[in-house]
Amino acid sequence: MRLVLNPNRMSSPKGQCFQLRFNLSFWGLFLAVLFTVLPGRGAVSTLQPPREYRLRFYHTHTNERLEVVYRRGDAYLPAALARLDYFLRDHRTGDVHHFDPRLFDLLHDLTESLKDAGGEIDVICGYRTRWSNEFLRTRSAHTGVALHSLHMQAEAIDIRLPGVPTSDLRDAALRLRRGGVGYYSASNFVHVDVGRVRRW
C-alpha cells in the first residue's frame, strides 16, 4: 500500500524515506494482527480452557453409576446438576430435590485433598423426604438421624471412598471446615453437609 501526498516530494530522498517508513509501519501492523488471529498463535494461544470439575459416583442402594462434569470454571452446568439431582433422589420414594451445588464442590475438594480426585464415591444416602427421614429416625433409638436433617434440604450426603479408611475421610472433611461432619464407624460411612461447621 502507498500513500502519495505529493509526487515531487516522493521523488526526493525525504519523500522516499517517508514512504519507506509508512510501508514498514503498515506491514508491521498487518503481521501483528495476522499472528494474533491465526490459531495457535499470539494472544489466542495463551487462553486456557476453563477448568472442569468432575465427579464419579456409585449408589449403594440403586447400584447405579454416574460420571459427570458438573462445572466448568465458575459456571455450573444445569443439565449436569439435574442428572445429579436424579441420581441422588430418595431411593425409597423416588422423589427428586434440587441439591445445593456447594455440596458437589465440597465432594470435589474432599477427594482432591485425599489424592483421590476422579475416584469413585460410594453414596449411602443423598436426598431424603420427610417420610424417609422419619422412617429412619424412628426405626431405632441409635440411628443418629436428626429430626431436621439437612438430607431433607438436599444439602447433605453420606459417603465412603473405596480404599480410603473412613477415619481418614472424616479427618479430611474436618480440615476443610465447610460444614457438618458425622463419623459412623460401625456403618463405615461419613456424613458431610454444607450447613454450619460442627462434628459428631
Q: What is the mean pLDDT of the chain?
A: 84
Residue whose entry in the numeric block shows the C-alpha cell 458437589: 104
Summarize pLDDT for 93-132 with one digit per residue, the tens: 999 999 999 999 999 999 999 998 789 999 999 999 999 9
Summarize pLDDT for 63-80 with one digit per residue, the tens: 999 999 999 999 999 999
Question: 22-26, 52-56, 74-78, 84-88: lowest mean pLDDT where?
Answer: 22-26
The Cα 140–Cα 150 span in angstroms is 19
The Cα 161–Cα 56 span in angstroms is 11
Cell triple for 68: 459427570
**Rounded CA Rg of the chain:** 30
Q: With contact defined as beta carbons under 8 Å apart, do 114 and 161 qualify?
A: yes
Q: Is 197 exposed, middle or buried (0-12, 13-18, 19+ CB in 10 A)?
A: exposed
Mean pLDDT computed over 150-177 = 97
Q: What is the pTM of this model?
A: 0.75
